[in-house]
Amino acid sequence: MSQYKIIFTGPVGAGKTTAINSISDVPPVKTDAAASDMTKNRKSSTTVAMDYGVMNLAGGEKIHLYGTPGQERFDFMWDILTVGGIGLILLLDNTRADPFQDMKFFLDAFGKFINDTSVAIGVTQMDLSGKPTIDDYHAQLQTYGLKPPVFEVDAREKNDVSLLVQALLYSLDPGLAE
Amino acid sequence: MKKGSHTPARIALYGMDDRTCKTMEMYLKGPCRGVAVVVRETEADIDVIDADHPRAKDILDARKAATPNRPIILLSLQDLRIDNTFFIKKPVNVTQIVDVLGKIKAATAPRKVFFNPVKAAETPPAPVEPVKQAPPEPPRKMAMDVYAKKPAGVKHVDVSEQQKTAKHQSAVQLNEGGFTAFLGTVSDIDFEDSAQLLTACYDPRQSFLGYVQSAYKTANLQSRALQLNSIWKPLIIFPESQEIWLDADDKQLRAFAGMTLGKNATGSMVLVPFDNGKAADRAMDKFQNMNTFIWKLALWTSKGRFPIGLDIQRPVFLVTWPNFTRLVITPDALRMAALLVSTPKTPLEVVSLLRVKPQYVFAFISACHALGLLRQSERQVDTVIAAEPPQKSTNKSLLRKILGKLLGA
């Protein structure tokens, strides 16, 4: 069976693990902490080098949710991580010094994957820092010739993460209906 | 390459945690086809340093001191040019790794001696001393971990912002059943009658919506807080923070939004400056995001009709996606947004293409129009020449299943 996956990326602390946790049907494998307490029957998971969750779909299919760890550590994994990916969720932390720089970095790094699939952007921590606004993000994105969905997101809120993923799916196919 | 004809380079990793080292090991073994293996520091021919590590400068100095003749590869997000080092820009890919290892191999003696810093240098070495220490780099050139948390660079956290709970509430996603009740009905329009659809419009200028939009524009132009007084409750507009303050719940707002304002009501509309000093006295939970507020107001004013002045037989398009997580989501709103962001369509085409009820399309375009997100193509030819969005390969069945899961089907 094919391995379908949605990739969650973004800078450290943007809420990738939390977002995956919000919609995953299993507790996410968070390798930062899990490596030391893996039980024997999960030993194979110790080599997983990213955050991971699963959504169980009708008919027994699964959609795998992969979170790229902070890119300063695992960026060399990206090109293999995206194989089989149906789209990219980019989470940006609005409290960081220059979220636009983060955005550009990730859009560049995943440029080919985005071009082949689609991207939806979630801006987190807007309750802590209101600027840049969502409009500011759109203005910046237009300079790159992109019009992706950009939503304010609380990664702890299942509804927010769900909407972001829905927007990604509709970006791929607006005619899609449940 | 013949089997067994190459010997993998032996590299030691620095500035990386165990997990990163493990992943790098897998990466070299898998995608890089064993071009190098990770070994202990004492057994290595090459040192690889994550130059984005906060202590990268110290690590580099230490490695140069410990094994001055061993080639060093720096990995970084920034373009680094440091004498006697090789550089790979992140994100690292197979080609880069193979190329740099090839350069090192070519530059070193064919047998065991894996180094000659003078020849191996990626950047021109200093002319006098072949193994001269790299010139001191300003601290910012190294350890430029632009994506790690930087306490000094993190912005000020606005505590009061967290108390504005209404502003950051997650969206309400309405299904068809709930939406009809939410939206309200217009008894004198039959949305099943295609002839009546063409005239199913409303005039925002005769409603609270029109006055709020006008007041918001004025507040933005004057760059100061303004208070809109009416026969109802005062509305305070804060253009700088794009907020409004209103002491009313949604039921009350909905009732007032749906009213067509007569002369008496419009005569009571007065816009006055608001003293910002008074803002501190206001209940924090009554603040709302301006766009969220106008969106709701437009839905309740529209009741499934389109705004007057919009020609529903001409194509419309969205400038950007609405910020759906903080808006009331009308039925099929995300589908409509995805379609209208990618290509202009007439509202009636949206009805038929997506098989959405006309009043849902009209309510949605009303709300988008009120926020300034919706534009009308000036000429029919705009549609003709508009590039169709690129077709991306999708597995419809899979996407539907994911959607069903997300929507709780």
Residues B188 and B307 in one domain: yes
Q: What is the pLDDT of residue B144?
A: 28
Percent of chain A, pLDDT > 70? 81
Q: Cα–Cα distance between B77 and B85 in angstroms, integer? A: 16
CB contact under 8 A, B401 and A31: no
Range with lowest mean pLDDT among A62-66, B369-373, B388-392: B388-392
Say if the Cβ atoms of B325 and A160 lie within 8 Å: yes
Q: Which residue has the tokens 């307490």?
A: A37
At A23 the pLDDT is 93
pLDDT of residue A65: 93
Residues 62-121 of B with CB under 8 A from A: 75, 77, 90-94
Same domain, B175 and B109: no
Q: What is the pLDDT of residue B388?
A: 54
Tell me the chain B residues in contact with residue A122 when contact means C-beta distances shorter than 8 Å: 325
pLDDT of the residue at B183: 66
B136 and B200 share one domain: no
Q: How far apart are CA B96 and CA A34, in angstroms?
A: 31
Could you tell me if B122 and B198 lie in one domain? no
| Residue that finishes a domain, picked among B141, B173, B195 | B141
Are B179 and B121 found together in one domain?
no
Predicted confidence (pLDDT) at residue B131 exceeds the cutoff of 60:
no
Shared domain for B213 and B96, answered yes or no, is: no
Nearest to A71 among B23, B147, B334 (CB): B147
B248 close to A (CB below 8 A):
no
Are residues A147 and B162, on separate chains, in Cβ contact within 8 Å? no
Q: Is residue A178 part of a domain?
A: no
Q: Which residues, other chains included, contact B345 with Cβ-Cβ below 8 Å and sequence gap of 6+?
A: B315, B316, B317, B339, B353, B383
Give the alpha-carbon dihedral of B300, B305, B307, B313, to 10 degrees. 150
Same domain, B134 and B169: no
Q: Quick check: A147 and B320 CB within 8 A?
A: yes
More confident residue, A40 or B236: B236
pLDDT at B281 (0 to 100): 66
Per-residue pLDDT averaged across B186-197, rounded? Answer: 71
Q: What is the CATH number of the domain that holds B75?
A: 3.40.50.2300
Chain A residue at shortest CA distance from B166: A127
Q: In what order do the strands lie in the sheet with B270-273?
A: B270-273, B226-229, B235-238, B243-246, B287-289
Together in a domain, B194 and B332: yes
Which residues form the domain of B233? 165-388
Give a yes or no: residue A144 inside a domain.
Answer: yes
Residue B371 maps to a domain = yes
Q: How many A-B residue pairs are in contact by the CB < 8 A criterion? A: 224
The two structure tokens encoding residue A107:
């859009």
Domain membership of residue B75 (yes or no) is yes
Please indicate, yes or no, whether residues B207 and B278 belong to a single structural domain of this protein.
yes
* Dihedral, B95, B97, B103, B105 alpha carbons, nearest 10: -120
Spatial distance between the Cα atoms of A131 and A136, rounded to a whole number of angstroms: 8
Asked whether residue B77 carries a pLDDT value surpassing 50, the answer given is yes
Question: Each residue of B200-230: pLDDT tens digit?
Answer: 889 988 899 999 999 999 999 998 899 999 8
Residue B133 has pLDDT above 60, yes or no: no
Same domain, residue pair B224 and B371: yes
The answer to whether the CB atoms of A149 and B337 lie below 8 A apart is yes
Q: Rounded to whole angstroms, how far apart are CA atoms B245 and B232? A: 14
Percent of chain A with pLDDT over 90: 53
- Please judge whether A105 and B147 are an interchain contact, meaning their C-beta atoms are less than 8 angstroms apart: yes
Q: Residue A85: which CATH number?
A: 3.40.50.300
The answer to whether position B319 is within a domain reads yes
Q: Is residue B119 part of a domain?
A: yes
Note whether A53 and A24 are within 8 A (CB).
yes
Contact flag B173-A102 (C-beta cutoff 8 Å): no
Task: List beta partners, residue B222.
Answer: none
Of A156 and B7, the structure prediction assigns the larger pLDDT to A156
Residue A147 lies in a domain: yes
Q: Which range marks the domain in which residue A92 is found?
A: 4-172
Q: Is residue B160 part of a domain?
A: no
Choose between B145 and B257: higher pLDDT. Answer: B257
- Indicate whether B242 belongs to any domain: yes
Interface with chain A: mutation pick from B94, B287, B402, highest number of A CBs within 10 Å = B402
Report chain B's C-alpha Rg in angstroms: 32
- Residue with the two structure tokens 């993000």: A137
Taking only the tens place, the pLDDT of each residue in B314-361 is 999 999 999 999 998 888 999 999 999 999 999 999 999 999 999 999
Q: Is residue A126 situated within a structural domain?
A: yes
Nearest to B358 by CA among B339, B330, B321, B399: B330
Identify whether residues B188 and B281 lie together within a single domain: yes
Interval A115-128 mean pLDDT:
94
Q: What is the DSSP string of B126-155?
A: PSS-TTPPPPPPPGGGSS--TTS--GGGSP
Q: What is the domain count for chain A? A: 1
What pLDDT score does B185 carry?
66
Whether residue A18 lies inside any domain: the answer is: yes
What is the mean pLDDT of the segment spanning A166-174? 93
Please tell me the total count of domains within chain B.
2
Q: For residues B23 and B294, which has the higher predicted lDDT (pLDDT)?
A: B294
**A152·B162 Cβ contact <8 A:** no
The answer, for B33 touching chain A at a CB cutoff of 8 Å, is no
Q: What is the DSSP string of B37-80?
A: EE--GGG-SEEEEETTSTTHHHHHHHHHHH-TTS-EEEEESS--
Could you tell me the pLDDT band of residue A37, with boundaries at 50, 70 and 90? very low
Asked whether residue B156 is assigned to any structural domain, the reply reads no
B393 within a domain of the structure (yes/no): no
**Better pLDDT: B266 or A122:** A122
Closest residue on chain A to B19 (Cα): A49
The pLDDT of residue B130 is 36
Q: Give yes or no: residues B260 and B370 share one domain.
A: yes
What DSSP element (H or E) covers B333?
Answer: helix B333-342
Task: Decide if B168 touches A, using CB distance below 8 A.
Answer: yes
Give me the residue from A72, A129, A152 closest to B77, CB to CB: A72
The pLDDT value given to residue B258: 84
For the segment A55-69, the average pLDDT, to the nearest whole number, is 86
Q: Is residue A119 part of a domain?
A: yes
pLDDT (average), residues B231-251: 89
Most confident residue range from A44-48, B127-131, B332-336: B332-336
What's the confidence (pLDDT) of residue B30?
A: 75
